Amino acid sequence: MVDEGFDKSSWHGTTLLGSLRGLSLTTASWRPAPNRHNIWEIVVHAAYWKYAVRRRVTDDKRGSFPLKGSNWFARPDQSPDRRQWRDDVGLLVGEHRALRDAVARLSLRDLAKPIGGRRTIAHLVRGIAAHDLYHAGQIQLIKKLIGA
């Protein structure tokens, strides 16, 4: 489920990583409106939440995400840097792999463990897959708006 939302073939259409395929730097940094996120910021946001879910399911300490801050990270819409874009896409892919590895190590008993009230680790895992698909759709819509 986690891979189907990110980079594996599935019935629903474009995955998160698939939505970035062939994307130009101009498209990645274009804002649909002032104070709205660009695709680049969505990419880093998705990487952060993969990290956050992995940290929750493995009980790792906070503060090990490679970027300062949390949730949304400002990225340029003027004079974007190609290397920084590539690095941020690489961060997304790396965080996905780390999450996938952590999920693969979970037992059925681990998945049933409560985390944060009535929710379970399985709930978090399903949620991060849905998060990828939500943002894949959002990226596809932004690409349509810009005509990419």
How do residues 45-84 score in pLDDT, each as one tens digit?
999 999 999 999 998 888 889 999 999 999 988 888 999 9
Partners of 120 in beta bridges = 114
How do residues 77-100 score in pLDDT, each as one tens digit?
888 899 999 999 999 999 999 999
Does residue 55 contact residue 6 with C-beta atoms inside 8 Å?
Answer: no
Q: What is the pTM of this model?
A: 0.94
Which domains are delineated in the chain? 2-146 (1.20.120.450)
Partners of 114 in beta bridges = 120
Distance (Å, whole) CA 47 – CA 91: 6
Does residue 60 contact residue 91 with C-beta atoms inside 8 Å?
Answer: no
